[in-house]
Amino acid sequence: MIDFLKEIFKKKDEGPVFFNILTRTSGRPNGFKRCHESIQEQTYRHFLHIVSYDNPEDLTYLEEYDVKRVEVKKKKEKDVPLSKNPGNLEFSPHNLYFNSLLKEVKHGWVMLLDDDDMLAHPNVLKELAEVVKEADKRTLIIWQMEYPDGSRLPTSKMIEDQEIKLYGIGTPCFLFHNRYATKFKWDAWKCADYRFIKKLSDTIPKLICLNKAYVRLNNFGDFGRRNDLIN
């Protein structure tokens, strides 16, 4: 049976490039609507949108969309050993939701897009699929995200130097193959995205950095505070 399943997933990986788009949402119906619409507007159609939610109220808007829903439980700080805090950082339990989402990935490539992010234009996945076709499964692909004021991270200099820096990259800036999906865990502290990306970059032997803003943010970093767009 195991060999049979391996053969199925091998055949899937040999087909069109497939994207697993992982989104955390919590109390942001307007932001999620914009996020999901930016995915549905993509000209490249081989993808699955997998979405976590941490309260039943979220279902009132999630049920409107064709997504795979994953229920998660919000942890309290007392449930996470202080010894795991990598440097007196702010407790950010919503980071742990990605561990549940990553378990749902079965094949293809993985990207993260929160409910306050959106794909920058309808050809983002098409362009990324072309990059993947020229790469292989042992490749980490990084691009830029754009803030409301037009500023970008990583900066063009970081992209040129292929440099991954703390406070210089964000959650929606990278793509990796599912073979690495559960090799590392997200922690419950601020800047967990940097630490996760750094672990990937230290493990995945190849790196492609694109000087393109494939994602737009509708805020300057809300840190899980659930502030939504004004409809």
Within a domain: 87 = yes
Within a domain: 227 = no
- Number of C-alpha atoms within 13 angstroms, CB side, residue 192? 21
Within a domain: 225 = no
Residue-range definition of the domain harbouring residue 23: 2-217
**Predicted pLDDT of residue 80:** 84
**Predicted pLDDT of residue 223:** 43
List phi, psi (to 5°) of 104.
-85, -10
Within a domain: 205 = yes
DSSP H helices, the chain, are 2-14, 29-40, 59-62, 97-102, 124-134, 156-161, 192-203
Within a domain: 229 = no
Q: Per-residue pLDDT for the chain (231 aa), expressed as one digit of tens each?
A: 455 545 555 555 678 999 999 999 999 999 999 999 999 999 999 999 999 999 999 999 999 999 999 999 988 998 887 768 888 899 999 999 999 999 999 999 999 999 999 999 999 999 999 999 999 999 999 999 999 999 999 999 999 999 999 999 999 999 999 999 999 999 999 999 999 999 999 999 999 999 999 999 987 555 445 567 655
Largest CA distance in the chain: 53
Within a domain: 27 = yes
How far is it, in rounded angstroms, from Cα 115 to Cα 97?
Answer: 13
Within a domain: 16 = yes
Q: For the domain that residue 105 is a member of, what is the CATH number? A: 3.90.550.10
Within a domain: 94 = yes
Cα angle value 43/36/121 (rounded, 5°): 40
Please give the tally of structural domains in the chain: 1
**Predicted pLDDT of residue 159:** 98
Q: What is the pTM of this model?
A: 0.90
